[in-house]
Amino acid sequence: MAISAQDVAKLRKMTGAGMMDCKKALEEANGDFERAQDLIRERGKLIASKRADREATEGAVIAKTTADGKRGAVICLNCETDFVAKNADFVALAESILNLAIEQNPATLEDLLALKMGELSVADLVTEKSGVTGEKLSVSFYGKLEDGYVIPYIHMNNKLATLVSFSKGINEEVAKDVAMQVAAMKPVALDKSSTPADVVEKELHIAKEQLRLEGKSEDMIEKIAPGKLNKFFKESTLLAQDFIKDNKMSVEAYVKSADAEVKVTGFVRYSLND
């Protein structure tokens, strides 16, 4: 049967698929819009299956908070090429997933993927959009924070995003400075006490091996290694790091200079390039 341009445009609006893909689907479905949508979804699944072993290393990493600034989320929607990553429809898809995360507050990435966006789950919608772009798409990361005040920061054209939480409201410029610090300096933990045990063990092992290569005795190694570990904590934990805008003070001291009562309580950082 003849397929009109209006029908093609209608299906394109419904699915976001390309004009030729919509025309082909309508022709195969004999003008049945429901069947045509199914065909486009099936094509998305086929593309996703064929490209399952491809590296989806480009994409968009974005963050935002609730209107009251007390809860925030970060998501990463991956694709294969920077060309698709910069496409307005791709960015809009990432934003719609992030908005859903902000609205529904899922506990985990798996929970986010199971949420419904219209008739489809997030996971199925992303698969369907693989058919539109012709590339493997996936949601690879979801993180969230909640406290008295949370600030988001997006860097490098949606290549990196951070969230930082505070025990209460604080000057926005100060909060943004801390979020930028997280982006630039890649801390492994908030402070010494919150550094994962396996990270501490690894760094201590590295310190001891370096000292052995320098010819130090085992007695000396046991005395010197803790000092090297403390240097690691200073360089690699957020609150102890030198503040990038004034290295005469730590990040913790900078925050306290703005408000002696406020505490930095957590951070999330995700980058496509790490």
On the CB side of 161, how many CA atoms lie within 13 Å of its CA?
A: 24
Q: Which residue did the predictor score with more confidence, 268 or 132?
A: 268
Cα–Cα distance between 243 and 255 in angstroms, integer? 10
Which residue, 35, 30, 47, 37, is CA-closest to 13?
37
Poorest-pLDDT segment among 7-21, 205-219, 226-240:
7-21
Three-class SS string for 199-247?
Answer: HHHHHHHHHHHHHHHCCCCHHHHHHHHHHHHHHHHHHHEHHHCEECCEE
What H or E segment, with its residue span, contains residue 79? strand 71-79
Cα–Cα distance between 156 and 64 in angstroms, integer? 16
Question: What is the pLDDT, as a whole number, of residue 17?
Answer: 67
Q: Which CATH architecture has domain 58-182+263-271?
A: 2-Layer Sandwich (3.30)
Residue 241 has pLDDT above 60, yes or no: yes
Residues whose CB falls within 8 Å of the CB of residue 113, separated by 6 or more in sequence, listed in order: 121, 122, 123, 126, 139
Question: What is the pLDDT, as a whole number, of residue 245?
Answer: 94
* Mean pLDDT of the chain, nearest integer: 89
Question: What is the pLDDT, as a whole number, of residue 56?
Answer: 66
- Could you please state the CATH topology (level 3) that the domain comprising 5-50 is classified under: Helicase, Ruva Protein; domain 3 (1.10.8)
On the CB side of 91, how many CA atoms lie within 13 Å of its CA?
A: 11
Per DSSP, 53 falls in state T
The pLDDT tens digits for 74-84 are: 999 999 999 99
- CATH 3.30.479.20 maps onto the chain at 58-182+263-271
- CATH 1.10.8.10 maps onto the chain at 5-50
pTM more than 0.85: no
Residue 42 has pLDDT above 90, yes or no: no
The pLDDT tens digits for 62-107 are: 999 999 999 999 999 999 999 999 999 999 999 999 999 999 999 9
Q: How confident is the model at residue 182 (pLDDT cuts 50, 70, 90)?
A: very high
Q: What do you get for the CA distance between the two ends of the chain, in Å?
A: 52
Which residue, 27, 78, 65, 46, is CA-closest to 153?
65
3-state secondary structure of 166: strand
The pLDDT tens digits for 183-232 are: 999 999 999 999 999 999 998 889 888 888 888 888 888 888 889 999 99
Cα–Cα distance between 262 and 79 in angstroms, integer? 39
What the block records as the tokens of 139 is 């949601």
- CB count, 10 Å around CB of 153? 21
The pLDDT tens digits for 116-163 are: 998 889 998 998 888 777 788 999 999 999 999 999 999 978 999 999
